[in-house]
Each structure stands twice: as C-alpha cells, then as structure tokens.
Structure 1
Amino acid sequence: MKLQPDKSDVQTLTAHGPGWVAINNERVESSVVVGSRGERFEWDASDFSQIGAEHFAKLAGLGAELIIFGSGKRIRFPQPAWLQPLMAQRTGVETMDTPAACRTYNILASEGRHVLAALLIEKPEGQ
C-alpha cells in the first residue's frame, strides 16, 4: 500500500515571520483575515490598540464555526464585549499569538472545518 498525503484546496498559511505571513506562498505584510472557504480580506489594524468591537462584528457575518484570533507577537485577549456578536450566534473564538494561530488554522482547515484566522500582523520594532 502506498500512502500519500491528502491534497487540500483550502488556503494555507505557508510561512510566517516578524511582520508578515504567507498565504499559499504569497507574502502578506498587513493584518489579514483568511478563511478555509476562500475568505480573504485586509483587517484594518496594525497594532493591538487599534482593534475593537467593529473588527469582530465584521467576522460575525461570515458564518464560520470557529474564529482563531492571532493577537500579534504575544497573546493578548480581546475584551468580552467585542465578542458579543460571535457569542450570540455560538461561534467559537480562540486567542493565541499569530504564529500559533497560523499553525492551528492550517490543521483545522485541512480537516474541512469552516474556520477563519484573523491575524494581527505587527511591524517589527524599529520599522
């Protein structure tokens, strides 16, 4: 029997580094939302202090079963009030640093789950 890895057609986070992520090998240097069903759009924040309820409200209308919030270089939790639209529709939200969010998104997306990664991409210090 020959074993071969499953081929997935979902968007994959193929790499990450300080101030960037790669989606299907395309380097992205600004905060982004990427989804397992082809969703992809800029998330207008370059620092955690710029994130608010409107950022999470925008995600609520996308129908994902889980939102993975990559909070940048370190883990920082959104205020509970910001998550109300997601909680009202029983959408799960997990918070982790952005590198961990990239890895977790890839695993869940490859399982066929409808998942979104909302990734805060912070500029490296000194830039």
Structure 2
Amino acid sequence: MIQPRSTMKLQPDFAPDTQMVSAYGPGYVEVNGVRHTQACVFAPQQAPKPWGVDRITSLQTSHIDALLLDPLPEVVLIGTGQRQHMLAPALMRQLMARRIGWEVMDTAAACRTYNILAGEGRQVLAALMIE
C-alpha cells in the first residue's frame, strides 16, 4: 500500500481578524459577516469605515486622499458600483505619485479581486461604492 508523503491544504490560513468579503449583492457588501449598505473602505487588517462617496459623479480628490492609510497599500481597488466607470486621471495622481497600484472595476469584481489579493497576503485596500 502506498502512503501519501504529505497532505495539501486547499484553504488559505487567515488571521481571525482579517477583513474578507463574505458576500455582496445589489445594495450591499458584507465584510466578515457584517452588512454595509454605504460606500466603505477596508484592508485586511483595517475594519470597514465609511468612505463618503454616494455615486461616481461625486468622487473628488479628497476621497482618493482618504485612501492613503498607514501603512500605505500596495494596490487600491476602486469598486464603482454595479457598472465599471472610468475615472479622470487627475483623481489618480496622488496614488501614482506614491507609486501605489490601482484598478477601477465594478464593485462585484473589486470584491472578488480583493479576496484573492488579501488571501495572498498582499497589502490591498478596497474602496467600494454601493448602489
């Protein structure tokens, strides 16, 4: 009989306080089982906090500046609601100046991408608009 040499664990190990998206849908995002119905910002080691952006047309440079948390993220994922919207380059200048990667996508895609990057141990920040 052949004995296995080792076992493979298919689920990543997360610290119990790691912030992960547990569900999302029209009008909400759940992070660690807590439902959020307004725009929020969070990172693996930073609990969600309000972002103050109700729609893409109200996004200003001050909202982007609020994403420059300590420690600085490697990458910022901006979820723009149910549809992806392009952002003016002027809004991204602060992130580019600090050499922080960024990606703009619909909120559902941002949730999925966030979980993948956070699961890899990356310093990712999600800034999600919720419609």
TM-score by structure 1 length? 0.90
Equivalence for 2:107:
98
Structure 2 unaligned residues grouped into runs of 5+: 1-5
Aligned length: 122
Mapped partners of 1:61, 1:99: distance in 2: 23
Which residue does the alignment assign to 2:67?
59
Q: CA deviation at 1:78?
A: 1.6
Measure, in 2, the Cα distance between the counterparts of 1:25 and 1:37. Answer: 16
- The match for 1:115 among 114, 119, 124 is 124
Unaligned runs of 5+ in 1: 123-127
1:16 matched to 2:19? The reply is no
Match of 1:44 in 2: 52
Instruction: Tell me, yes or no, if structure 1 residue 71 matches structure 2 residue 77.
Output: no
CA-CA distance at 1:82 after TM superposition: 1.0
Structure 1 runs, 4 residues or longer, greater than 6 Å off: none
CA distance in structure 2 between the aligned counterparts of 1:102 and 1:25, rounded to whole angstroms: 14
Q: Which stretch shifts more, 1-10 or 37-46?
A: 1-10
Cα distance, 1:104 vs. partner? 0.1
TM-fit CA distance, 1:57 = 1.1
Equivalent residue for 1:125? none
Q: Judge conservation of contact 2:42–2:48 (CA < 8 Å) in 1.
A: yes
Which residue of structure 1 lines up, in the alignment, with residue 3 of structure 2? none
| Counterparts of 1:21 and 1:52, CA distance in 2 | 22
User: Equivalent residue of 1:59, what SS?
Assistant: coil
Larger radius of gyration: 2
Identity %: 39
1:7 to partner: Cα distance: 2.2
Q: Distance in 1 between matches of 2:57 and 2:23?
A: 25
Asked whether the equivalents of residues 21 and 29 of structure 2 are also in contact (C-alpha less than 8 Å), the reply is: yes
Residues 37-46 or 11-20, more deviating: 37-46
- 1:17: Cα distance to partner? 0.6
Residues in 2 aligned to 1:80 and 1:33: alpha-carbon distance in whole angstroms: 21
